[in-house]
Amino acid sequence: MGKFVVRKTNTGVKFDLKATNGQVIATSEVYNSDAACQNGIESVKKNAPVAAVENQTVEGYATEKHPKFEIYNDKAGEFRFRLKATNGQIIAVSEGYTTLANCQNGVESVKKNAPDAEVVEE
């Protein structure tokens, strides 16, 4: 089972969603309070399992409604995803992946791990 690891930064609080193997599969923005970070975690738990996948790396892709995972290419040419909540706000982002298949596996891992993930403080 995955887990949300909450940690303090110099400017606030953020979380990483880790898969069962301990690998980080998604990370949050830096929040200015513990409560805001907890709200972000709850939003990921609620939205990830029902979110559609919008693959922006293919020409003429279909635009999906929120909540959704957007798969895109970054400036380095790697594949990344971001999870957007029903209000369109980005609530989690991925690392860069070298292949589309690995990025899609990352999305599936978030969908699978987020809903029941425990929350731990680092």
pLDDT per position as a tens digit, 44-81? 999 999 999 999 999 999 999 999 999 999 999 999 99
> Cα(30)–Cα(36) distance, rounded to whole angstroms?
9
Q: In the chain, how many domains are there?
A: 1
Structural domain of residue 62, as residue ranges? 3-121
Q: What is the mean pLDDT of residues 82-105?
A: 97
Which element (helix H / strand E) includes 101? helix 100-113
* Average pLDDT score, the chain: 97
* pLDDT score of 1: 84
Quote the pTM value: 0.94
Helix residue ranges, H only, the chain: 34-47, 100-113
User: CATH number, domain at 110?
Assistant: 2.30.29.80
Cβ count near 13 (within 10 Å):
20
Question: Residues with Cβ < 8 Å from 65, sequence gap 6 or more?
Answer: 52
Q: Are 28 and 18 in contact (CB under 8 A)?
A: no
